[in-house]
Amino acid sequence: LYVDQPLAQGQTVPLTKEQSHYLFGVMRQDNGAVVALFNGVDGEFLAEVTKANKKNGEMACRAKTRDLLMPPDVWLMFAPIKKARTDFIVEKAAEMGARRIVPVNTEFTNAERIRQDRLQAHALEAAEQCGGTYVPEVTDLQKLDRVLADWDETRHIMFCDEALVGAAQVLGDVAADKWAILIGPEGGFSEAERARLHELPFAHAVSLGPRILRADTAAVAALTIWQQHLGD
Ligand code: SAM
């Protein structure tokens, strides 16, 4: 269970109304039950229910069971698509160990805005579900050209597009340990965006194979290839 509270041995952890309702109402847990807690910073702790109240429960941290498992340094940048598919991308990126998830507005992006809070909640649920101890931050929607203008050049970009070279080859050839994967919208990148990306020495156009994948499939495929080469 994710809690937005510091965790340490002996620490009392107050639960929110939603968490209390879930644990004691839905899951029917009671005093003495032991639950694994994480907060994305301190690792994972086993905690015992000390107040099984459906409105404001409490737990006591007992033993630390795992250190924080910081995922390798890859971000996923993608142009939001339809709501359900955007949710899917965020969920899978969190499961696949993206360290940060960055929705970007491109020329052909359909979404004018996103519900950042909802997407962050999806990332959190995915981290809980897959036993992660880290929750990737989902940033607000930003314009791609703005993001590139402020870019830290030590982070290389694996820019997925029609390209002659495969993603695996680029990851093998380029010596960088901080990466971002960039996936375009259903309509792809505009010629101006392509030209801009091709100009940047830290951006590498890569192919994910001969078939045109949907953006959500492309995001999962690109993360899989990245993790296979540089992940842990
Ligand atoms: N008609 C669009 C085009 O010509 O670019 C297709 C866009 S595709 C549905 C959505 C995004 O997924 C692309 O912008 C790209 O980032 C990624 N993608 C899909 N298939 C890919 C492939 N085979 N290689 C590299 N990237 C791919």
Q: What is the pLDDT of residue 70?
A: 84
Ligand 1 atom closest to the CA of 214, numbered from 1: 9
Q: What distance in angstroms lies between residue 106's CA and the mean position of ligand 1's atoms?
A: 13
Q: pLDDT tens across 195-205, in order? A: 999 999 999 99
Q: What distance in angstroms lies between residue 212's CA and the mean position of ligand 1's atoms?
A: 5
Q: pLDDT tens across 45-104, in order? A: 999 999 999 999 999 999 999 999 888 999 999 999 999 999 999 999 999 999 999 999
- Domains in the chain and their CATH numbers? 12-66 (2.40.240.20), 74-230 (3.40.1280.10)
Q: What is the pTM of this model?
A: 0.90
Ligand 1 pocket, mutate which of 77, 105, 213 (most atoms under 8 A from CB): 213
Q: pLDDT tens across 127-171, in order? A: 988 888 899 999 999 999 999 999 999 999 999 999 889 999 999
Looking at every residue in the chain, the average pLDDT score rounds to: 95
Q: Which residues line ligand 1 (CB under 6 A)?
A: 160-161, 183-184, 186-189, 207-209, 211-215, 218
Q: Hey, what are 230's tokens?
A: 């540089």
